[in-house]
Structure 1
Amino acid sequence: MKDININAVSGVLRQATFFPSQEALVYGDETWTYEQFVARIRDYAKAFVANGVKENDRIAYLGLNSANFLFINLAAWWVGAVFEPLNFRLAPLEVEDLLERSRPNVLFVEHDHQGVVETISSIETLAANTKMVMIDNDVQAPLKATIPNFFQLATAYLVAGENTKLGDPIERFDSDLGILMFTSGTTGRPKGVQLSHGNIWWNSMNVDSLVDTRRGDSNLAVAPLFHIGGLNALTIRSMVRGGRTIVRRNFDPRKTLQDIEKYSINQSFLVPAMLAAMQQTDEFEEVDITSMRALICAGAPVPPVLLQQYLVKGVDVQQAWGLTETAPFATYLPAELTHQKPGSCGIPMPYTEIRIVDPATGEDVEKTGDTGEMWVKGPNVTSGYWENPEATDSAFSEGWFRSGDIGYRDGEGYLYIVDRLKDMIISGGENIYPAEVERALAGFPGLRDVAVVGIPDEQWGEKVVALISCKPGVEPTIEEVREYATSHVARYKLPKEIMLLEDVPRNGAGKLDKFKIRTIATGR
C-alpha cells in the first residue's frame, strides 16, 4: 500500500478549494478567508523557492505569535522544509547556540528581537550562511529603526518570488521531519526535538478521537506558538479541518475573556496560570464563555478550586499531559470526568501507550497508587533529538520514551503526575531546569555555592528560588543576582527570590541535597 500524504498544508489547500470564503484566520484587525490564507502561504512558498530553500532546510522564526508565523510555517511545509520556531524569551547566547547547531537557511526576526540577533558574537559568520530577514509587513510589529545591512526586509524577500513557478505542496509522510523545536534537556542545554509530519498528524488523530472539537470551530491561539502546546495541540489541526483561528500576539487575561465572548471561541490550549489570571479579573463574572467546549489545560496540574470556578461559568477545564516529545498530548481527561477525577491527567490517548516504570529497575509498577516514571510509546512520539544520539539513546528504552515525569495510576486506571524525576520547575507553563540557572549564577562575584529549586506559587504554579552562600561580606540583593544572570538565561528563568545560607546543603558524594534544599526553601 502506498504511503498517504499527510502534509498539513495540503489539508489547508483542500479547505480553500471547497470552502474558499470561509474565515481561516483573524489577527488584529485583519481577517483572511481560506482563499486569502492560501494565497499568502503561496507567496512565501514561492519566495522560498526563488531564494534557494531546499527540502529539509530549516526555516527559523524569532518573534511573537502572528499571522506571519503561520504563513511561514505552512509555506515551509509546502516546499518540504522544516519549520524551526524559536523561543522569543531566550537570551542572546542561547539563541546563538541554537542557530549554530540547526544551521537554518532563513531566519525571520521581528524588530523587537533584532537586538538579540545583533549581539550574537558569530553574527557575521551566521549571516554568511543564513539569510536574515526582518519582518516589516506586520502592523502589529512595526519597524522602529534602521536595520543593519545583514538583514533583508521580508517585503524584498517576497518580491524575489513573485514570478516564480510553484507546484503542488511536496508530499510528506510519517517519517519526514516537519518541526525542529528546541526544549531544555536534563542538564539545561536545549535539545532539538525532531517532530515528523507523522507525529503532528497522529496527535491530531488522538485529539479528534477524544476531544469534542468540530469542523468550523473557532480556536483561540494565545499560548506561545513556539511551544508545541500552542502550535500543535489544536491550532494546526483547526486549520486543516476548516476552523477559524484567532491569533493573539501574547496573553492578556481581559482580552482573552473578551475574545472568547466576541468570537464564540470553542477550543483553546491554555496553561493553569492563564486560567487563574482570567479568573482574577473583574470581567470574569460578567463575560459569557459558555461557548468553550474544548478548553484544554496542560503544563501543570489545575487546582481543584480553579476547576470549580470555571464550572460555575459553565466550562469544563479539560486536563492533559504530555511533552514536546509527544507532540504534545500523551494523556487526556475527558470533559465529563473533569470533576469526578480532579487532579488527574486522564487516560492514554487512543493511539498512545503509557507505562509506569520503576526508574531504578526498569520494571513495570503494578500496584495501584505506587509511583514510577511515565514511559510513552506511539506514532506521536519523536524519533529523537537533532544531531544528539547520546541524548536520544538515554531518552529511549526499547522503543519507549522515558518522560522524566513521575506518576501513578488509580484503581480505575486514571493517571496522575506527582513529581518530576529531573527536578524540572514549571513556572507559568514554561519549563525551567535548575542546573541551567545554577550555571548562569556560578560566576557571580563572591558566590561560593548555589542551588536552585522551585517552590509552589499561587500565580505561576511554581517560582524559582536560589539558595546561595557567599564569601564573607558579600550579601547580594535579588536585583543584583537577576541582573547578572540576564545575559546568560531568559528572564523567565531568573530567580524570583534568593536565600542567603552559610552553606548550601550537599550530600556525602558532594551532590546538592535537593530534599534538604527544598525543605529550607519552603520553610518546612
Structure 2
Amino acid sequence: MSTATNLNPVAAVHRVSAYAPESTALIYEDREISYSSLLAEAGQLAAALRARGVTEGDRVAYLGLNSGTFISTMLAAWWVGGVFEPFNFRLAPREVSVLLQRSTPKVLVVEPCHQDVVEILSGYDGFDAGDLTLVLVDNDPAVPAAAENSPIWTLLSDFLGEGGGPAPEVTPRVQEDLAILMFTSGTTGVPKGVQLSFGNLWWNSVNVDSLVDTRRGDVNLAVAPLFHIGGLNALTLRVLARGGTTVIRRAFDPRQTLRDIEQHGVAQAFLVPAQLSAMQQAENFEDADISSLRALICAGAPVPTVLLKQYEGKGVRVQQAWGLTETAPFATYLPAELTYAKAGSCGIPMPYTEVRIVDPATGSDVAERGSTGEMWVKGPNVTPGYWHDASATKAAFSDGWFRSGDIGYQDEDGFFYIVDRLKDMIVTGGENVYPAEVERALMEFPGVLDVAVVGVEDSKWGESVVAVMSCVDGIVPDIEEVRAFTGTYLARYKLPKKLVLTGSVPRNGAGKLNKIAIREMASEEN
C-alpha cells in the first residue's frame, strides 16, 4: 500500500507495524499494546463498520473517556474513509441529543459509564435515532462493566465479529477530505461543529515538527481529554504516525501523572495550566524526577509566571502555544529557549501559518506594536468551516483569514500575546477591561489555586468586575484584600468590585474556564 500521497494516519500506522510490529504503540492503564495488536483491532472494527454500511464521509462517533478503544475506533473510522466524531464525555443527555441530530453519525460507540446518557434520549420528544447503530464497550478491563444491557445496544465484542473476513483496504485520504468533526466546547454559546480535514491534521504535525523538539521514539503522555483537539492532535496523532509510544490514562490524576513521567521517561506532553498547577500542588511534586519532559506544550490559557518558575526548578521548560480547535490546534508557539525571556507570550506564528492583529471594527491591520486587536489566522491547518452552518462559516472568515475571536498584541520583537476573548471583554464605567489580564494578576495572590473574572450587570457601572476564586485551605481573603493586592498590578477601574470564593472554579474538559457557569455563580452572589 503506497503512503506517498496518502494522508490517512492509518497508512502511517500500517508502515510502522510492517517494520516494527512489536514496538509499543500505547501503554493504556499500564497495559502495553503493540502496533501490530492495535492495527489488528482497528482492522477488525473497520471490517465491522464496513459491514454496517459505513463508507466515505459517514460519521463514527465516540462517547467515553481516554482509552485504547478511542484510538482504535478513530483508526477504524478513517480506515473505511469515515469521519471520526469524538463527543465531550461531560455532556448532558440533551446536549448529546442535539449533536446526534446535527451530525447524524452511522455508529456511536459508548462506554458503559455513559450508557444512561444515551438511553435517556429515547424519552425525548422529536429524538429519532434513525439507522444509528449503538455499540457498547464490553471488552476493556479498565472500563467498568454495564449493570445491564438494553436491547438497543450491540456489544462491541459481538460487533467486532460482524466483519467476517479480513480487514478492507485502507481508504486513501487527501488534504481536502474530512477527518474529524469536533464540536466546540460551547462555554460561551451553542457548540459549532468544526470540520478538520486530513490536511489540517497533517500540516499541524509539520508545524510542530518544525519548531518543537520532538523526536522519533519519544514517549508521549495523553492525560488531557482526547475529545479535545489539543489532547488528540497536538502530539498524540503525530507520535502514533512516527512509531512512538503514548501513555494513555483514562482521567487526569496529578500524582499519577508525575509517576508516569518518571517511570516511562515521558518526553512529550500536552497539558493545560490547571493541570500543571494541580501537579505542582501534589505531595510528590518535589521528589518526582520529570526532567525527561523535553517538549511540554501548554495551551488553553497563559501560564502564570510563578508556575513557570516552579517547573524551572524541576529542570522543565513549559512551552506555551496558542490556537483553537479551528486551527488544529496550534497557530503560534513560544520556543523552549524563550520560555523565560518572553514569559507570558504565546510565541511566534507556526512556520506554515500566518497571524495578524486586526481592528475587528474596520478589518484593518493594527500597525502600532503593543496595541490590541483581534488575532486572525491563515494557513493549511485552518478549518475549511463549520458543519452545515454557512452563516457561522461566513462570519468567521474574511478574505480567507479566520477570525479567532481572541484579542492580542505584538511586542516590539514581534512576539504575540493573548489578552482575552473578544466576547468576554467587560465594559465598566465606559472603560474596557479584559478578564484575562485581571486573572493573571489575581493568580499571583498568595494561596490562590484558580481564578476567573467575569462581568455582571450593574445599574451604575453598566458592568462590574467580579472575581471567582478558589484558594488553599485556610486562606479566606475578602474583597478589600484582593483589591489592595491587585491594585499594585492594575489600574483601579480594572479591580474586582465583588469576590466569590468557591471550592473549584468551573472549567470544561479542555481546561478552559466555563464562563457560562462562572457568570451564573457570580450573578447568584451579586
The reply to whether TM is greater than 0.5 is yes
- Counterpart amino acid of 1:323? L
Which residue of structure 1 lines up, in the alignment, with residue 402 of structure 2? 401
Which residue of structure 2 lines up, in the alignment, with residue 117 of structure 1? 118
1:281-323 CA distances to partner (integer Å, 9 max, x unpaired)?
1101001000000000000000011111001100000000000
Q: Report deviation, 1:138.
A: 1.0
Determine if contact 1:352/1:378 at 8 Å carries over to the other structure: yes
Is 1:296 aligned to 2:319, yes or no? no
Which residue of structure 2 lines up, in the alignment, with residue 360 of structure 1? 361
Which residue of structure 2 lines up, in the alignment, with residue 178 of structure 1? 179
Determine if contact 1:219/1:266 at 8 Å carries over to the other structure: yes
Partner Cα distance (1:30, 1:226) in 2:
21
* Cα 1:434–1:123 shift into 2, 3 Å: farther
- Counterpart amino acid of 1:258? R
Partner Cα distance (1:200, 1:287) in 2:
34
Determine if contact 1:215/1:241 at 8 Å carries over to the other structure: yes
Which residue of structure 2 lines up, in the alignment, with residue 157 of structure 1? 159
Partner Cα distance (1:181, 1:396) in 2:
18
- Counterpart amino acid of 1:281? A
Which residue of structure 2 lines up, in the alignment, with residue 84 of structure 1? 85
* Mapping for residues 129-144 of structure 1, pairs under 5 Å: 129-144=131-146
Determine if contact 2:328/2:382 at 8 Å carries over to the other structure: yes
Determine if contact 2:47/2:168 at 8 Å carries over to the other structure: no
* Cα 1:168–1:237 shift into 2, 3 Å: same
Which residue of structure 1 lines up, in the alignment, with residue 262 of structure 2? 261
Is 1:373 aligned to 2:374, yes or no? yes
Q: Report deviation, 1:73.
A: 0.4
Determine if contact 2:48/2:162 at 8 Å carries over to the other structure: yes
- 1:129 match: secondary structure: coil
1:375-395 CA distances to partner (integer Å, 9 max, x unpaired)?
000000000000000000000
Determine if contact 1:127/1:150 at 8 Å carries over to the other structure: no
- 2:220 match: secondary structure: strand
Which residue of structure 2 lines up, in the alignment, with residue 236 of structure 1? 237
* Cα 1:185–1:361 shift into 2, 3 Å: farther
1:130-155 CA distances to partner (integer Å, 9 max, x unpaired)?
00111111111122311221111111
5+ long unaligned stretches in structure 2: 426-434, 440-449, 473-499, 506-512
More off after superposition, 227-236 vs 110-119: 110-119
Is 1:61 aligned to 2:62, yes or no? yes
Q: Report deviation, 1:497.
A: 3.3
Q: Report deviation, 1:156.
A: 1.0
Partner Cα distance (1:277, 1:125) in 2:
40
Structure 1 stretches of 4+ with a deviation exceeding 3 A read 121-128, 184-187, 424-427, 432-435, 450-460, 490-501
- Counterpart amino acid of 2:162? A
Partner Cα distance (1:38, 1:22) in 2:
12
* Cα 1:145–1:383 shift into 2, 3 Å: same
Q: Report deviation, 1:494.
A: 3.2
Partner Cα distance (1:278, 1:304) in 2:
16
- Counterpart amino acid of 1:336? E
Determine if contact 2:269/2:297 at 8 Å carries over to the other structure: yes
* Cα 1:302–1:389 shift into 2, 3 Å: same
* Cα 1:459–1:399 shift into 2, 3 Å: farther
Determine if contact 1:273/1:459 at 8 Å carries over to the other structure: no
Determine if contact 2:136/2:154 at 8 Å carries over to the other structure: yes
Q: Report deviation, 1:491.
A: 9.3
More off after superposition, 47-56 vs 406-415: 47-56
Which residue of structure 1 lines up, in the alignment, with residue 517 of structure 2? 494
Determine if contact 2:319/2:333 at 8 Å carries over to the other structure: yes
1:207-252 CA distances to partner (integer Å, 9 max, x unpaired)?
0000000000000000000000000000000000010001000100
1:382-432 CA distances to partner (integer Å, 9 max, x unpaired)?
0000000000000000000000000000011100001110119999xx9x9
Determine if contact 1:206/1:350 at 8 Å carries over to the other structure: yes
Partner Cα distance (1:215, 1:254) in 2:
27
Which residue of structure 2 lines up, in the alignment, with residue 44 of structure 1? 45
Q: Report deviation, 1:165.
A: 3.7
Q: Report deviation, 1:270.
A: 0.1
Q: Report deviation, 1:17.
A: 0.6
* Cα 1:458–1:200 shift into 2, 3 Å: farther
- Counterpart amino acid of 1:497? M
Partner Cα distance (1:126, 1:380) in 2:
35
- Counterpart amino acid of 1:260? I
1:58-78 CA distances to partner (integer Å, 9 max, x unpaired)?
000000000000000011101
Partner Cα distance (1:245, 1:353) in 2:
30
Partner Cα distance (2:453, 2:107) in 1:
29
Which residue of structure 2 lines up, in the alignment, with residue 350 of structure 1? 351
* Cα 1:452–1:113 shift into 2, 3 Å: farther
Is 1:222 aligned to 2:223, yes or no? yes
Which residue of structure 2 lines up, in the alignment, with residue 10 of structure 1? 11
* Cα 1:451–1:186 shift into 2, 3 Å: farther
Corresponding pairs, count: 461
* Mapping for residues 284-433 of structure 1, pairs under 5 Å: 284-423=285-424
1:83-132 CA distances to partner (integer Å, 9 max, x unpaired)?
00000111111111010000000011111111211222449954332001
- 1:285 match: secondary structure: coil
Q: Report deviation, 1:500.
A: 5.0
Partner Cα distance (1:364, 1:281) in 2:
45
Which residue of structure 2 lines up, in the alignment, with residue 147 of structure 1? 149
Which residue of structure 2 lines up, in the alignment, with residue 93 of structure 1? 94
Determine if contact 1:3/1:173 at 8 Å carries over to the other structure: no
Q: Report deviation, 1:47.
A: 1.0
Determine if contact 2:468/2:501 at 8 Å carries over to the other structure: no
Q: Report deviation, 1:433.
A: 13
Give the TM-score taking structure 2 as reference length: 0.82
- 2:311 match: secondary structure: helix
Which residue of structure 1 lines up, in the alignment, with residue 443 of structure 2? none
* Cα 1:217–1:492 shift into 2, 3 Å: farther
Partner Cα distance (2:391, 2:42) in 1:
37
Determine if contact 1:186/1:433 at 8 Å carries over to the other structure: no
1:148-180 CA distances to partner (integer Å, 9 max, x unpaired)?
21111111111111x234333111001000000
Partner Cα distance (2:358, 2:187) in 1:
19
Partner Cα distance (2:149, 2:82) in 1:
27
Determine if contact 2:377/2:404 at 8 Å carries over to the other structure: yes
5+ long unaligned stretches in structure 1: 439-449, 461-476, 483-489, 502-520
Q: Report deviation, 1:185.
A: 5.8
Determine if contact 2:217/2:243 at 8 Å carries over to the other structure: yes
More off after superposition, 179-188 vs 360-369: 179-188
Determine if contact 1:218/1:266 at 8 Å carries over to the other structure: yes
Q: Report deviation, 1:184.
A: 4.4
Partner Cα distance (2:185, 2:28) in 1:
30
- 2:424 match: secondary structure: coil
What is the alpha-carbon root mean square deviation over aligned residues?
3.1
